[in-house]
Structure 1
């Protein structure tokens, strides 16, 4: 039997973070296009900027469809750019717990190693305040769960309905 848990959608802070980021990137593209500079330099700059705008636009679109899928033999995290699967026996589903960063600040993401981190949205590999590596996919500070793994890192996710997975 497959169980699907929706990750929490972006809050207004997350939406505004993406909108401001995309506006800055597009504004930078317009500035480069209008600036008097050699054509090769302009083409290279636009060639670097355009994929970034497309990538962040796609991530903004897909982040609200992110989900955790638990099937018979795998645990899959379906998130933009960083999705992956683990064998089910490597995720300790019996020890899934809710996390409150006010009560356990050592589990709060501290340093981004490989990912996206902006107000209202964190996705990717982070170093936690306790120096442990973790995969993080959060859109708010509410409804956060920790899924321990046997790979020396936990999964820290903000779920739409965390009570569905905690205690199962």
Structure 2
């Protein structure tokens, strides 16, 4: 197969259960209930406060829900492009240390787990964006912790990805690196 720089190949991301959105929607519903309750009990607040606040809260919830479903892993020529929620990471295949790449279960290999969130979007079982793991920078798109592709980079950072088929992505990266 010829590798033209404009060649694009998309790899399906492991699905994240939709019920995880309850971690977003239940707190938002609680805030909405508190806003309505305090507005009804306060003589200083008017129904106009609700007409402004509740649609804004609904808009924020909608944007966060949209972001939850925005996930893509693509091999574009000589670059791996990962799009996840509000983040996008472009990494040259030559910057990856593919000889050290591993497919891991984060429950068994806690040393690879995303730790401190630096700039990310996360809820239990779903991590997206920039984290720290073992003192190193990690860019995450983790939707299924039982099969995560850990891709170390030459600069000491790493990518943690949840493709539906991690072996297929790793094979494609290896094939691209040997060209």
TM-score category, normalised to shorter length: 0.7 to 0.9
From 6, 15, 19, the equivalent of 1:9 is 15
TM-score after normalising by structure 2 = 0.74
Q: CA deviation at 1:157?
A: 0.8
Q: Is the 8 A contact 1:26 1:53 kept in 2?
A: no
Q: Which moved more, 1:94-103 or 1:134-143?
A: 94-103
Structure 2 unaligned blocks of 5 or more:
1-6, 175-179
Instruction: State how far apart, in whole Å, the 1-side matches of 2:51 and 2:21 are.
Output: 25
Q: CA deviation at 1:159?
A: 1.3
Considering only CA atoms, is the larger Rg found in Structure 1 or Structure 2? 2
Instruction: State how far apart, in whole Å, the 1-side matches of 2:63 and 2:108 are.
Output: 35
Instruction: State how far apart, in whole Å, the 1-side matches of 2:77 and 2:144 are.
Output: 29
- Aligned partner of 1:24 in structure 2 is 27
What do residues 113-141 of structure 1 show as CA deviations (whole Å, max 9, x unaligned)? 1112212211111111x221201111122
Q: Which moved more, 1:152-161 or 1:16-25?
A: 16-25
Instruction: State how far apart, in whole Å, the 2-side matches of 1:102 and 1:28 are.
Output: 33
Aligned length: 161
Query: For residues 133 and 44 of structure 1, do their structure 2 counterparts lie closer, same or farther at Cα, with a shift above 3 Å needed?
Result: farther
Aligned CA RMSD, in angstroms, stands at 2.6
From 24, 34, 57, the equivalent of 1:49 is 57
Whether 1:108 and 2:95 are equivalent positions in the alignment is no
